[in-house]
Amino acid sequence: MKRILQVSGDEAQAALSLLKCVATADGQLQLHEIHRATLQAFADHLFHVEVDIDGLPGTLDGAADAVADETLRREVLNMAGILPFLEDEDKETRVATFEQLNSAFGFNRKFARELYKLCHGSVTEISICQLRPALMESGKKIHQLPGAILKNLLHVDGDKKMLARYQGYCDLPEGTFGKVLSEYYRDNHFPLPGTKGAFFSNNLTIHDMHHVLGGYPTTPLGETCVVAFADGMMDLDLGKAVIGAVAQFQIGIQFDKGLEVWLHQFNPDVVIRAFERGARATTNFEVFGFDFEPYMQQPLADVRAQMGIEEEGAIIKGPGDRWCGEMGVVGQRSSPDMIDMKMSWFQKLLAGKNVEEDLAS
């Protein structure tokens, strides 16, 4: 379990005070509601303490003594790194306080430097931190990715056996993991894995199962929850990936070019709860070679119970909820909070490659 979930009492209060200090830039800025709600979510889902947010001192004084454990320091920094990207204004002011906390903890300037760059839309270094978990979710190692891309471009990436297996899931009883997974593809208008030309379906099968196991739709909030859940569950440190996802869906800094860019989509209570759910899970299914097949005919609720995934906290709660969410199908959404970004040539090439053929025609 992540160290930050094992903290309580005075140590939890001290960590929250440090986080408040970053949120207010050491008292230079007012504590806005989105920051207040995020600090409350930290208190509820990480530290499990009752706290008066306004009563916290919010100072860096004694930071090194207050949080002495190195692992905990890194996890507190990961949470602190979210705070500058909840509002578009004063990002760098808050990052400057983050840098002071980083220095007080005895770490080099690299993390703060990456956040300064993210403030200006430079996402290269932050994105690199997402590469390893992205490979896990694709089920491929890095040397296999060029081949997967080439097969897609040549339209020879179909897999008849895989397609038949996923088609079989459609006929399973209601409520089984396999059946619900087939409904995930149906609701999102994604072709089933194994379909020729379905680049994302064929290469993100574990990611899609992650959505279903966690109960998260393909909305901006759902995608952020998947990253946060993975950060809690995996041995890898995905803190920077969570920061990037929040920046993309809260203030419109494009971290992942494969996803749309939005404003005001961060719900701290839901996202931090996702991290907690992942950290409390007893099975890390994002490892190379994990075999999901024995679980497909079992009720999804039973699979979650076996993996230690708590039902409370899921966004998709039952068959009446669509896996694409209330926003509708990816690529067909329209909202004043959605930012129209110029696509790269590669994005244009892949556009439309992961929709059902009857919708693409």
**Contact yes or no for 206/286 (Cβ under 8 A):** yes
Whether residue 302 sits in one domain with residue 259: yes
Whether residue 165 sits in one domain with residue 313: yes
Whether residue 308 sits in one domain with residue 160: yes
Record the tokens describing residue 336, joined without a space.
């004043």
Q: Phi first, then psi: what are they for 220, rounded to 5°? A: -55, -40
Whether residue 67 sits in one domain with residue 176: no
pLDDT on residue 360: 42
**Which residue shows structure tokens 């059902």?**
356
Instruction: Please tell me the total count of domains within the chain.
Output: 2
Instruction: Express each pLDDT in 263-322 by its tens digit.
Output: 999 999 999 999 999 999 999 999 888 999 999 999 999 999 999 999 999 999 999 999
**Mean pLDDT, residues 217-221 taken together:** 98
Instruction: Express each pLDDT in 152-175 by its tens digit.
Output: 665 668 899 999 999 999 999 999
Close Cβ partners of 196 (under 8 Å, ≥ 6 residues apart): 155, 156, 157, 158
Which residues form the domain of 107? 3-120
**Mean pLDDT, residues 199-220 taken together:** 94
Record the tokens describing residue 78, joined without a space.
């990961």
> Could you say which of 81, 101, 120 is where a domain stops?
120
Residue type for position 217: P
Q: Is residue 218 part of a domain?
A: yes
Confidence of residue 122 (pLDDT cuts 50, 70, 90): confident
pLDDT on residue 293: 98
Q: Where does residue 158 rank: exposed (0-12), middle (13-18), buried (19+ CB within 10 A)?
A: middle
Mean pLDDT, the chain, rounded, equals 90
Record the tokens describing residue 201, joined without a space.
């379906």
Whether residue 179 sits in one domain with residue 136: yes
| Residue 263, strand partner residues | 251
Secondary structure class of 235 (helix, strand, coil): coil
Whether residue 265 sits in one domain with residue 216: yes
Whether residue 196 sits in one domain with residue 143: yes
Q: Is residue 234 part of a domain?
A: yes
Whether residue 225 sits in one domain with residue 108: no
Ranking 2-16, 38-52, 190-204, 344-358 by mean pLDDT, the lowest is 344-358
Whether residue 349 sits in one domain with residue 279: yes
Q: Within 10 A of 204 (CB to CB), how many other CB atoms are there?
A: 22
Q: Tell me the C-alpha distance between 307 and 287, whole Å.
A: 14
**Which residue shows structure tokens 């329209």?**
334
Q: Within 10 A of 127 (CB to CB), how many other CB atoms are there?
A: 18
**Which residue shows structure tokens 């994002």?**
286
Q: Tell me the C-alpha distance between 214 and 279, whole Å.
A: 12
Give one DSSP letter per residue of 150-186, joined into a string: HHHHTT----HHHHHHHHHHTTSPTTBHHHHHHHHHH
Whether residue 30 sits in one domain with residue 106: yes
> Could you say which of 70, 100, 120 is where a domain stops?
120
Give kind and range of the element (H or E) at residue 261. Answer: strand 261-262
Q: Is residue 145 part of a domain?
A: yes
Whether residue 219 sits in one domain with residue 185: yes
Q: Is residue 126 part of a domain?
A: no
Q: Tell me the C-alpha distance between 338 and 208, whole Å.
A: 23
Q: Is residue 161 part of a domain?
A: yes
Whole-model pTM: value is: 0.93
**Contact yes or no for 261/252 (Cβ under 8 A):** yes
Q: Tell me the C-alpha distance between 155 and 133, whole Å.
A: 26
The percent of residues above 70 in pLDDT, for the chain, comes to 86
> Could you say which of 120, 145, 173 is where a domain stops?
120
Secondary structure class of 272 (helix, strand, coil): helix
Whether residue 140 sits in one domain with residue 62: no
**Contact yes or no for 261/339 (Cβ under 8 A):** yes
Q: Is residue 50 part of a domain?
A: yes
Residue with more model confidence, 352 or 150: 150
Q: Is residue 295 part of a domain?
A: yes
| Residue 339, strand partner residues | 261
**Which residue shows structure tokens 């004063």?**
90
Q: Is residue 260 part of a domain?
A: yes
Which of 120-134, 150-164, 197-211 is predicted most confidently? Answer: 197-211
Record the tokens describing residue 203, joined without a space.
């290469």
